[in-house]
Amino acid sequence: MKRAIFPLLVFIMLSVAGCSGGETSSEVEPTAVAVAATASLAPVVVATNTFMPVIEVQATLTPTATPPPDATATVAPTATPTDTPVSPIDTVALEPVLAGGLSHPTFITHAFDERLFVLEQIGRIRIIEGGALLPDPFLDITDRVGSAASEQGLLGLAFHPNYATPGAPGAGTFYVNYTDYSGDTHISRFSVLADDPNRADPDSEVEYLFQDQPYPNHNGGSLAFGPDGYLYAGLGDGGSANDPLGAGQRRDTWLGKLLRLDVTTAEGEYTVPPDNPFVGQQGALPEIWAYGLRNPWRFSFDRATGDLFIADVGQNQWEEVNVQPADSSGGENYGWVIMEATHCFQTQTCDQSGLVLPIFEYAHSQGCSVTGGYVYRGQAFPEMTGNYFVTDYCTGIIWRLFPQSDGWQANIVLDSDLVISTFGEGADGEIYLADYVHGAIYRLRPG
């Protein structure tokens, strides 16, 4: 793979990459820089997979506003990261961790030890220990998780920061995000069994948040504890296409938002952190931390800096990654449905004032649905340190994003042949990813 650096992260591909999970012909190189979007970049994705792209591509069948050709002329990325060293790396490779055996994995995380916890969409949490998949699930809640539609199921998991600290508030507890058999979203707490660290109690569920879902798609699903100890939850705009509820820009709904909840102070319920940005504002829900999101399928905190990376799945043409610096006080408006990445989506009223634009975007010539990843902070591969890795579900292209003095840069570091539904981070900071189709797990390493 040749190295390609392009300064403004807007590019047009001469060759069209198919959406079949990473054809070898899609070894692509960006060939133009700093170009504006044109009408020729119509979606070309053909949906053959069974997960998110089906919905995304269906959405493109609905008539939508067409961005004007000069939509990028006046915008520039508005977020800069916390200053930390970044190591250069030209290529990455995928080291097999588990060859298969998982059913439609949707997330990977850890519980502060060497085990990997993997979500199965149908409603199970599995454990990989010592390179082997344990036969019994850590948690099985298939009796209440519905996954009839491609973006539904068990979608998110976050262990409480005190999970492994006996006696501390939150010890032995973890939070999941799932959709039920009616398609509605639940964020619930569960507890590990006192006498078996590899088994949680399915009857220990305490519901913290419920969101009615008007459409099957755009359920978000990510959960993560921030460096502030609060639980962050991503919810999509409700679904369908073109944000029919106007959810992204409204502040009276949790849909299309990143929420920030205190799940530690009170027992069995959340409280609102007093410094959430819309606390006390009439007509705004106090749980909201940031808004203007379409479907933030995956977000993550940089464990070294606290910077927050939010990958927001686009609609017709553009996929995007946003960065929120660690010192943010919240309230960012990430633009949807006014903008799709850096391009006007609402051509009649494309008022961009106050919007935070992405630091990276790619066109649907290179994919169909962004899968956000992590900043590498592991010890095994110092040459990867400080890079944020992100991929596309349809093409399997993996990029590294890294800041330079003149702005964010991106390199393609691997054109994989996988269908990557999620990344995940181990306790040691190593980055893993899941092949949704084959139920396999890989570790990211230098190529």
State the residue for tokens 């319920």: 269
Instruction: Choose one: 104-112, 164-172, 231-239, 240-248; the region binding Ca ion (CB under 5 A).
Output: 231-239
Which residue lies nearer to Ca ion by CB, 215 or 436?
215
* Per rule CB under 5 A, count of chain residues that contact Ca ion: 7
Minimum distance, C-beta of residue 361 to Ca ion, in the bound complex (Å):
9
Q: Closest separation between CB of residue 213 and Ca ion, Å?
A: 4
Dihedral sign, Cα of residue 204, residue 207, residue 212, residue 218:
negative
Structure tokens at 423: 């990344």
Stretch that binds Ca ion, among 94-102, 327-335, 375-383, 410-418 (CB under 5 A): 327-335
Nearer residue to Ca ion within complex by CB, 261 or 321? 321
The residues pairing with 311 across neighbouring beta strands, listed in sequence order, are 298, 321
Binds Ca ion by CB under 5 A, chosen from 51, 208, 215, 423: 215
Exposed/middle/buried for 206, CB within 10 Å: 0-12, 13-18, 19+?
middle
Among residues 334 and 374, whose Cβ is nearest to Ca ion? 334
> Is 239 or 367 the residue whose CB approaches Ca ion more closely?
239
The residues that bridge with 365 in the sheet, in sequence order, are none
Question: Which residues 390-429 are close enough to bind Ca ion by CB under 5 A?
Answer: none
Peptide bond into 437 cis (omega under 30): no
Looking up tokens 């913290």 gives 208
Q: Return the range that interacts with Ca ion (CB under 5 A); candidates 25-33, 210-218, 374-382, 417-425.
A: 210-218
- Are 140 and 174 spatial neighbours (Cβ–Cβ below 8 Å)? no
Read off the tokens for 197. Answer: 């660290």
Pick from 127, 149, 10: which is nearest to 71 by CA? 10
Q: Is 153 in the site for Ca ion (CB under 5 A)?
A: no
Segment lying near Ca ion (by CB under 5 A), choices 197-205, 235-243, 262-270, 368-376:
235-243
Which residue number, 215 or 432, has a Cβ lying nearer to Ca ion? Answer: 215
> If binding is defined by CB under 5 A, does position 213 make contact with Ca ion?
yes
Q: How far is the CB of 30 from Ca ion (least distance, A)?
A: 21
Nearer to Ca ion, 26 or 324 (CB): 324
Instruction: Return the number of the residue (301 or 334) whose C-beta is nearest Ca ion.
Output: 334
| CB atoms inside a 10 Å sphere around CB 252 | 11
**Segment interacting with Ca ion, rule: CB under 5 A, options 1-9, 135-143, 234-242, 381-389:** 234-242
Contact segment (CB under 5 A) with Ca ion among 48-56, 157-165, 219-227, 266-274 equals 219-227
Nearer to Ca ion, 124 or 218 (CB): 218
Alpha carbon distance 309, 224 (integer Å) = 12
Dihedral sign (CA 415, 416, 419, 423): negative
DSSP class of 336:
T
| Segment holding 56, helix H or strand E | helix 52-60
Residue 219 binds Ca ion, judged by CB under 5 A: yes
- Bridge partners for 165 per DSSP: none
Q: Which is nearer to Ca ion, 71 or 414 (CB)?
A: 71
Residue with smaller CB distance to Ca ion, 239 or 439:
239
Burial of 29 by CB count in 10 Å (0-12 exposed, 13-18 middle, 19+ buried)? middle
Binding segment toward Ca ion, per CB under 5 A, in 186-194, 262-270, 334-342, 412-420 = 334-342
The answer to whether 368 and 21 are in contact (CB under 8 A) is no
Q: Measured between alpha carbons, how far is residue 248 from residues 156, 168, 199, 237, 337 in Å?
A: 21, 37, 38, 6, 6
Place of tokens 């592991």: 378
Determine the interface stretch with Ca ion among 28-36, 97-105, 329-337, 378-386 (rule: CB under 5 A).
Answer: 329-337
Q: Which C-beta is closer to Ca ion: that of 173 or that of 333?
A: 333
Q: Which of 51, 334, 381, 389 binds Ca ion (CB under 5 A)?
A: 334
Rounded Cα gap, residues 118 and 91, in angstroms? 26
**In the complex, what is the shortest distance from the CB of residue 218 to Ca ion, in angstroms, rounded to a whole number?**
5
To Ca ion, the closest distance from the beta carbon of 167 in angstroms equals 39
What's the min distance (Å) between Cβ of 355 and Ca ion?
Answer: 8
User: Could you give the CA distance from residue 85 to residue 384 in angstroms, rounded to a whole number?
Assistant: 11
Chain residues binding Ca ion by CB under 5 A are: 213, 215, 218-219, 239, 334-335
